[in-house]
Amino acid sequence: MSIRLRKIAGTPGSSGLTSCPTVLALGDDEVALVGYELDEQARSLMDFPEGENVIRMPKSLYLEGARRLMEEE
């Protein structure tokens, strides 16, 4: 199985798959979010398992990515 990444939303002026922040389609059933790491204060409030992480991105960009995914269905 090959992974197919496709940019579906990004900030103005962003380009490519590694721009930050960006919403990517990861195949047909998942998305990947490229964003900024949380600061230490915010991370200290969370307890998530090894292999998981949390990022931050503008709400408007996340919703734009969701809107574009819904248009494809």
CA distance 20 to 18: 6
pLDDT value at position 52?
A: 87
Q: What is the pLDDT of residues 56-73, one digit of tens each?
A: 888 998 999 999 989 987
Least confident piece of the model among 8-12, 26-30, 63-67: 26-30
Q: What backbone phi and psi angles, to 5 degrees, belong to 59? A: -55, -40
pLDDT at 40: 87
Average predicted confidence (pLDDT) for the chain? 86
DSSP state of 38: P
pLDDT value, residue 1: 57
Q: State the alpha helices, DSSP H only, in 2-73.
A: 40-44, 59-72
pTM above 0.95, yes or no: no
Question: Which tokens hold the place of 55?
Answer: 């990022």
pLDDT given at position 60: 92
Any idea what DSSP says for residue 6?
E
